[in-house]
Amino acid sequence: MYSSFGKITRRALMAAAVAMPLAATSLASQATAETVMRVIPHADLKNLDPIWTTAYISRNHGYMIYDTLFAMDESFKPQPQMVDTWTTSDDGLVWTFVLRDGLKFHDGAPVTGEDVVASLTRWGARDGMGQQLFGVIDTLEAPDAKTVVMTLKEPYGLVLESIGKISSNVPFIMPKRIAETDPFEQISEYIGSGPFVFQADEWVPGSTVVYTKFADYVPRDEPVSAAAGGKIAKVDKVIWQYFPDATTAMNALMAGEVDYYEAPAPDLAPILASNPDITVEVNDPLGSIGFARFNHTLPPFDDADVRRAAIMAMKQEDYLAAGIGDSAYWKTCYSVYPCGTPLENDAGSDLMATGDTEAAKAALAKTGYDGTPVVIMQPTDISVLSAFSLVTAEKLRDAGFTVKLEAMDWSTLTSRRALRDPVGEGGWNMFHTWWIGADVIDPMSIAFSGSPDKGWFGWAEDAELETARKAFSQASSLEEKKAAATKVQERLWAIGASGELGQFFTPVAYRNNVKGLIKSPVQFFWNMSVE
């Protein structure tokens, strides 16, 4: 006791001598401590191949570890990312891309033109926009290590929009040996050239994903702008920690156990916003678009007039209030392209904008509808879509339809919607979903297809619609594109392809020490830091 408080003893001196270097080491390690950002992603990362699956969480994973030739900026224009320079021949048929210097994969190998050719080829076999692009590609070659030459059979106005598309499936560049995997089979190696490295041995599906900063990544010089610009990893490690329970996720953020919550439920947002240490804001300018899909092949919705009558009964405000709730996170939008994007227009939209039950009733009476029941698949495990289904059932009943709601989980719905059988044999008449804004930003989205063979569930068939979409793909100037997109929209409403249920936004929530969020329809983690 005495030695401890009043007198310096030999033992105390020895202890101090041992402790001082330890303390110094501790201080030094604190100075160089790795920075970690803990994130609650919007979903569990179940699969690591962003070409094999369209899941948004796999796409976000793709952005962490892969890079793209072009990338969409804030104004939805494709900007070069891995590409340094590019040229187009006068006839618009030959596109030559030269890669930037210093591009490297995480295993140290340089990125070559052959890697690009193999990656684009695999993507082109799976992605809708990729399939259309490869439909007009004559040859795709890598004449040298840094150059890729794409030769088209006919002019195509969406080359850069396709290889720079922002959402699933994104044409990520992988090493050739990985990209040569069958497009319908999963890759088994996860090597990219993006700003973060995936730590395979730390991946616990259903729980944790760990990424570390890729020290050899060479970012562009331009400032960050959505997916474009310099991708600077500002933290050493990003940990995605999946929370199956929204309340626990909220509690963890409030307790400071995580830094960033990608998709809190709108009903939890006010609680989070009341915490002075937390910021809640909408980071995705496009949001998501609610969608009521008809089966065009089965009665009663094999008749365009019946579909239009059903659309007339739909009122966006009712759907959004029931499905989303807080009006701070939704707005009506009667353009088939997200409001606030270059192709937004109101052609033909008065059909949807009325939400008039009486007009719908009158329109239905004129069709000779015989009372055939409308089977609506209701996914009860997804609250927003379950609410949309209930609203539709009510609206259609009010308009004079006979409605049969069939409750099921989303997995069952996704398998059943692929069936083209009659209703009695497993078929269906309607289901609801949503598209993120970036996926329906132009007429090339599969949501707007008028070709039943290559088209989306519901199998709309309309030659005029396909002609209008083709015209869009061949348009070169923005004005031409706008005109073509307007025609597509007019046609979509004319045939009553689908009901548009409004635009809604999921906020993000984060501790105030998180800086550098990128405004974008897709969640990126470069440029973000934890201070």
Partner 1 sequence: MLFYIIKRILMTIPVMVVVALFVFLMLRLSPGDPAAVIAGDYATAEDVERIREQLGLSEPIVVQFTKWLGQLVQGDLGTSIFSNKPVAELIAQRIEPTMLLALTTILFSVFVAVPLGTLAAYRAGSWVDRVVMLFSVGGFSVPVFVLGYVLIYVLSLNLKLLPVQGYRSPFTEGIGPFLAHITLPTLTLSVIFIALIARMTRASVIEVLEEDYVRTARSKGQSEFKVLLRHALRNAAVPIITVIGIGIALLIGGVVVTESVFNIPGLGRLVLDAVLARDYPIIQGLILFFSFVYILLNLLIDLSYSLLDPRIRY
**Residue 418 CB, nearest distance to partner 1 (Å)?**
5
Nearest to 158 by CA among 133, 141, 179: 133
Q: What would the DSSP string read from start to end of 56-70?
A: HHHHHHHHHH-EESE
Q: Which two tokens stand for residue 471?
A: 């015209």
Separation of CA 427 from chain center: 28
C-alpha to C-alpha distance for 72 and 32, rounded to whole angstroms: 35
Of 83, 79, 100, the closest CA to residue 166 belongs to 79
Shortest Cβ 252–partner 1 spacing (Å): 5
Q: Is residue 308 a contact partner of residue 491, using CB atoms and an 8 Å limit?
A: no
In the complex with partner 1, the residue whose CB is nearer, 2 or 184, is 184
Nearer residue to partner 1 within complex by CB, 128 or 450: 128
Quick one: 362 or 446, whose CB is closer to partner 1? 446
Q: Which is nearer to partner 1, 222 or 277 (CB)?
A: 277
In the complex, what is the shortest distance from the CB of residue 15 to partner 1, in angstroms, rounded to a whole number? 24
What's the N-to-C CA distance of the chain in angstroms? 42
CB of 158 to partner 1, least distance (A): 16
Q: Which residues bind partner 1 (CB under 8 A)?
A: 44, 46-48, 52-55, 126, 128, 168-169, 182, 184-186, 188, 204-208, 241, 243-245, 247-249, 251-252, 254-255, 257, 381, 408-412, 414-418, 420, 433, 435, 439, 446, 453-457
Secondary structure of residue 183 in the 3-state scheme? coil
8 A C-beta contact, residue 58 and residue 519: no
Backbone φ, ψ for residue 502 (5° rounding) = 105, 170
Please, are residues 113 and 84 in contact by the beta-carbon 8 Å criterion?
Answer: no
| 75 vs 247, beta carbon nearer partner 1 | 247
Nearer to partner 1, 181 or 193 (CB): 181
Separation between Cα atoms, residue 490 and residue 346, nearest integer Å: 9
Q: Which is nearer to partner 1, 46 or 366 (CB)?
A: 46
Minimum distance from residue 524 beta carbon to partner 1 (Å): 21
In which residue are the tokens 């401890």 written?
4
Closest CA to 375 of 346, 416, 345: 416
Percent of residues in the chain assigned helix, strand, coil, to nearest 5? 35, 20, 45
Q: How far is the CB of 440 from partner 1 (least distance, A)?
A: 11
User: CA–CA separation, 294 vs 310, rounded Å?
Assistant: 10
- List alpha helices for 314-382, DSSP H: 316-323, 350-353, 357-367
Q: How far is the CB of 428 from partner 1 (least distance, A)?
A: 12
Q: Which of 57, 36, 44 is nearest to 256 (CA)?
A: 36
Cβ partners under 8 Å of residue 292, min gap 6: 311, 314, 388, 392, 430, 432, 498, 499, 500, 501
CB of 36 to partner 1, least distance (A): 14
Q: Would you say 252 or 517 has its CB closer to partner 1?
A: 252
How far apart are CB 408 and partner 1 at their closest, in Å? 7
Q: Which is nearer to partner 1, 52 or 472 (CB)?
A: 52
Q: Tell me whether residue 185 or residue 221 sits nearer to partner 1 (CB atom).
A: 185
Contact status, residue 9 vs residue 3, Cβ threshold 8 Å: yes
Minimum Å gap between C-beta 46 and partner 1 is 4
